Amino acid sequence: MQSYDYDVIVVGAGHAGVEAALAASRMGARTSIFVIKLESIGRMSCNPSVGGPAKGHLAREIDALGGEIGYVTDLTGLHFRMLNRKKGPAVWAPRSQNDRQLYSQIMRERLESQANLQIIESLVTAILTCPDGVCGVRTQSGREYRAPKVILATGTFMRGKIHIGKHNYAGGRSGEPAAEEISHSLLKLGFPLGRFKTGTPPRVDLRSLDFNLLEEQPGDENPSGFSFYRQVQLKNSISCYLTHSTSQTHAIIRENLGLSALYSGIIEGIGPRYCPSIEDKIVKFPDKDCHQVFIEPEGLNTHEAYINGISTSLPPQVQEQIVHSIPGLEHARFMRYAYAIEYDYIPPHEIKLSLESKRLKGFYLAGQINGTSGYEEAAGQGLICGINAVLALEDKDPLVLKRSEAYLGVLIDDLVTCGTNEPYRMFTSRAEYRLSLRQDNADERLMPLGHALGLVSEERWQAFSRMLAIKERERETLCSTNTSRHPDLKEPIKFAALLRRPEYSFSDLEAFGYQKPEDVSPDIAQRIELEIKYEGYLKRQEEELSRFFSAESLPIPEDIDYHKIGSIAWEAREKLDRIRPQNIGQAMRIPGVNYTDTSSLMIYLKKMKLIKNA
Ligand SMILES: Cc1cc2nc3c(=O)[nH]c(=O)nc-3n(C[C@H](O)[C@H](O)[C@H](O)COP(=O)(O)OP(=O)(O)OC[C@H]3O[C@@H](n4cnc5c(N)ncnc54)[C@H](O)[C@@H]3O)c2cc1C
């Protein structure tokens, strides 16, 4: 009989690892988490920002399930903005700028104060196995730790190689060592490894910028955070700033392309299409004469600022020329230089929907090592791994979220079903059910699950249940009560029918005789308004989806010119053109071709009378 030191071992304390460890220990498992440097727990490797399109949805879903990213983001946020306000509510996206150091410090405090959880600073060098699966890890010092469940969340560290111009050296992130041996241990166990890359821009001293030439971007007047039912006073304590690249910037980049690690062929790994380097932007969009550049302060106790939009692997002296060619940054003093990093990942066809490895029982994989990119994507996978490791210990079925339930379900299903041949990032267009998967209703979709798992505190659960009861009661009132007579109406109608009209909002109802009870908060009012207004769209979404999924066998003409279909994303057009699927079913299974692209293809085929009944 094997004896164990822990129930669950988590390797890595980045965004995936911390969620995995907190979830497992909160569910009662004796857990340990390994990190190379204690000071780096929860470190934001790139920009100190959480949320944005689809990522904001993920952060709120993680919070609703009982994860930590949303809460720590709210506690350490310096600047909050709801993006896409002018578009439909399905794509509204909360985004925050955070204090990088404070985020890491608070996350460490959350881990240190967690019962059942031991933090160990040590580099893990090998995964230990027994005849029936994984059974622990070995560290650099030769010490072995035993557990029946091991979660690997090592981010960009496995055989990490940092590139600046033609120089490169081993490193997991700037200033931190790479994890070399663990890749060899995985290879010995039969795991295939691929190579991806990512990059980060330079950081400069805020005091050296000319603010007269920068456009201020203040936070929202009424900031929205990420965490449900936790009392955090959100504050906008800083502004961000906008400037742009110039024709001089572009000329410098073109002249020096041969010195870029990316363009001189030194980097083999594939980079994230959606966070392109500035070299990429100049080469791929030669006609664009400027690109946006955001200046994002890194914290309250530092003058360091992140220059969002100019991630690069060019040499330091060229980086200086680039930055100094941008209005407002002419005299910017560098604090850190940009770099690119290449690392090993495990192709996600190796994992099941539970995130357990198919190859090794009890071994779970989370975050960047599954081929994803981004804090929220990593945190979501970490949380699911932590939960599923404990459910497996209890002989229970794993938690597998459906695509219709959560962006997290979409993310994991995409990875496992389609794999990925480039760093995977979440987008709203990847979610077929995006009208119902809004960021504002993540609590209604997922909090009951989080509570049942023991991850949502009783206090939060009570607050959620109260909100739900008030919302249901008031919705019922609006659906069953008539308006009073009003000059705008020929005769009284139900309040709900009035609210369905695009010209009216919840706050207009009072003019028609509705008396809003005091317990209906602005948040509840907005939820009711969205639900009632979008009822018809949701029904249509259901019908469209059932038509879509029954269109599997519709043939696609062999000579179709995908480049003529502007409504299909450029990336998808390229893939369709290369692979030339024979039918719609095949098209929809191509990684990188999503539901929206396939729908656009079907609409085009129908319009051109190339298929019927689409
Ligand atoms: C330079 C750079 C630029 C990036 N740019 C972007 C971007 O533009 N957009 C974007 O969305 N994402 C970007 N990312 C990615 C983002 O940082 C990651 O997606 C995210 O941090 C992944 O979280 P993770 O938990 O998987 O790994 P990480 O946050 O990398 O954490 C890994 C953890 O594992 C620990 N660890 C590693 N190996 C071992 C070991 N053998 N033993 C013990 N502990 C170990 C480390 O100490 C660390 O705590 C960038 C990352 C880097 C490094």
Centroid of ligand 1 to alpha carbon of 154 (angstroms): 7
Q: Tell me if 40 CB under 6 Å of ligand 1.
A: yes
Asked if pLDDT for residue 54 goes beyond 60, the answer is: yes
Structure tokens at 553: 């066998």
22 within 8 A of 42, measured Cβ to Cβ: no
Ligand 1 centroid vs 155 CA: distance in angstroms? 4
pLDDT at 613: 52
The stretch 204-227 carries a mean pLDDT of 96
Q: What domains can you pick out in the chain, each with its CATH number?
A: 8-198+343-452 (3.50.50.60), 203-340 (2.40.30.260), 458-539 (1.10.10.1800), 550-607 (1.10.150.570)
Residue 369 CA, closest ligand 1 atom number: 26
Asked if the model's pLDDT at residue 411 lies above 60, the reply is yes
Residue nearest to atom 51 of ligand 1 (CA): 45
Counting ligand 1 atoms within 8 A of each CB, the residue from 37, 273, 375, 376 with the most, and so the one to mutate, is: 375
> What does the alpha-carbon distance between residue 298 and residue 277 come to, in Å, rounded to a whole number?
20
Residue 614 pLDDT exceeds 50: no
How many Å apart are CA 200 and CA 254, to the nearest integer? 19
Supply the residue whose CA is at minimum distance from atom 19 of ligand 1: 374
Asked if pLDDT for residue 551 goes beyond 90, the answer is no
> 193 C-alpha to center of ligand 1: Å?
17
For ligand 1, whether the C-beta of 198 sits within 6 Å is yes
| Arithmetic mean of pLDDT, 104-128 | 98
**From start to end of 311-455, where are the E strands?**
334-336, 339-345, 363-365
Quick one: tokens of 130?
Answer: 């027994």
Is there a contact between 217 and 242 (Cβ–Cβ < 8 Å)? Answer: yes
Q: Which of 49, 168, 368, 369 to mutate to test the pocket of ligand 1 (most atoms within 8 A of CB)?
A: 368
pLDDT over threshold 90, residue 153: yes
Distance, CA of 304 to CA of 225 (rounded, Å): 24
77 lines ligand 1 (CB under 6 A): no
pLDDT at residue number 1: 63
**Whole-angstrom distance, CA of residue 574 vs CA of residue 570:** 6
- How far apart are alpha carbons 164 and 156 in whole angstroms? 16
Mean pLDDT rounded to a whole number for the chain: 93
What ligand 1 atom has the least distance to the C-alpha of 367? 26
What is the average pLDDT across 368-384? Answer: 97
Contact 445, 64 (CB under 8 A): yes
Residue nearest to atom 17 of ligand 1 (CA): 45
Least confident of 347-356, 500-509, 578-587: 578-587
Residue 158 has pLDDT above 80, yes or no: yes
Q: What separation in Å is there between the alpha carbon of 579 and the centre of ligand 1?
A: 32
The CB of 12 under 6 Å from ligand 1? The reply is yes
Any atom of ligand 1 within 6 Å of the Cβ of 504: no
Least confident of 46-55, 392-401, 454-463, 595-604: 595-604
Minimum CA distance residue for ligand 1 atom 38: 154
Q: What is the 556 CA–ligand 1 centroid distance (Å)?
A: 41
- Report how far ligand 1's centroid is from the alpha carbon of 312 (Å): 18
- The whole-number average pLDDT for the span 540-563 is 83
Measured in whole angstroms, the distance separating CA 541 from the mean position of its chain's CA atoms is: 24
**pLDDT for res 108:** 98
pLDDT bracket for residue 417 (50, 70, 90): confident
pLDDT score for 294? 97
Give, for ligand 1, the residue of 32, 35, 46, 169 to mutate: max count of ligand atoms closer than 8 Å to Cβ: 46
Q: Report phi then psi at 420, rounded to 5.
A: -155, 140
Closest Cα to atom 16, ligand 1: which residue?
374
Whether the predicted pLDDT of 52 surpasses 90: yes
Note the pLDDT of residue 548.
73
Does ligand 1 lie within 6 Å of residue 267's CB atom?
no
Residue 418 reports pLDDT greater than 90: no
Map residue 18 onto helix, strand or coil.
helix
- Among 10, 36, 127, 196, say which to mutate for ligand 1: greatest number of ligand atoms within 8 Å of CB: 36
Instruction: Please tell me the least confidently modeled range out of 265-274, 278-287, 560-569.
Output: 265-274
pLDDT band at 520 (very low <50, low <70, confident <90, very high): very high
104, pLDDT greater than 90 = yes
Q: Is the CB of 179 under 6 A from ligand 1?
A: yes
**Which residues are 79's β-sheet partners?**
97
pLDDT tens-digit profile of 227-272?
Answer: 999 989 999 999 999 999 999 999 999 999 999 887 777 777 787 7
What is the DSSP secondary structure assignment for residue 416, as one 8-state letter?
A: I
The rounded distance, in Å, linking the Cα atoms of 513 and 427 is 41
DSSP structure class, residue 499: H
Note the pLDDT of residue 488: 83
CA distances from 253 to 233, 263, 335, 583 (A): 43, 11, 21, 42
Taking the CA of residue 381 as reference, the ligand 1 atom at the shortest distance is 26
Q: Is the pLDDT of residue 553 over 80?
A: no
Q: Is the pLDDT of residue 467 over 60?
A: yes
69 ligand 1 Cβ < 6 A = no
Determine contact, residues 353/416, Cβ cutoff 8 Å: yes
- The minimum-distance atom of ligand 1 relative to the CA of 372 is 19
List the residue whose alpha carbon is closest to atom 12 of ligand 1.
Answer: 374
Would you state the structure tokens that stand for residue 1, as one six-digit string? 């009989």
CB distance 11 to ligand 1 below 6 Å: yes
From 15-24, 29-38, 504-513, 603-612, the region with the lowest mean pLDDT: 603-612
Q: How far is Cα 211 from Cα 224, in angstroms, rounded to an integer?
A: 27
| pTM (global) more than 0.75 | yes
Any ligand 1 atom below 6 A from CB of 271: no
Write the residue with the smallest CA distance to atom 50 of ligand 1.
46
pLDDT at 612 over 60: no
Q: Evaluate whether 53 touches 427 at the Cβ level (below 8 Å).
A: yes
For the ranges 168-172, 180-184, 485-489, the lowest mean pLDDT is seen at: 485-489
> Is the shortest distance between the CB of 103 and ligand 1 below 6 Å?
no
CA–CA distance, 558 with 554 (Å, rounded to integer): 13
Nearest-CA neighbor of 81 among 94, 69, 90?
Answer: 94
Interval 280-293 mean pLDDT: 91
| Ligand 1 midpoint to CA 93 (Å) | 23
- Arithmetic mean of pLDDT, 372-384: 97
pLDDT value of position 421: 84
What are the tens digits of pLDDT across the range 194-210? 999 999 999 999 999 99
When pLDDT is cut at 50, 70 and 90, the band that residue 90 belongs to is: confident
Measure Cα distances from 41 to 36, 101, 121 in Å: 9, 10, 10
Q: Strand 133-139 vs strand 144-146: parallel, antiparallel, or unpaired?
A: antiparallel
Cα of first residue to Cα of last residue in the chain, in angstroms, is 59
Atom of ligand 1 nearest to the CA of 181: 41
As a whole number, mean pLDDT of residues 511-517 equals 94
- Does pLDDT of 13 surpass 50? yes
How far apart (Å, rounded) are the C-alpha atoms in residues 14 and 153? 7
- Please give the Cα distance from 214 to 212 (Å, whole number): 6
Q: How far does the centroid of ligand 1 lie from the alpha carbon of residue 533, in Å?
A: 41
Q: Which residue has the higher pLDDT, 419 or 64?
A: 64
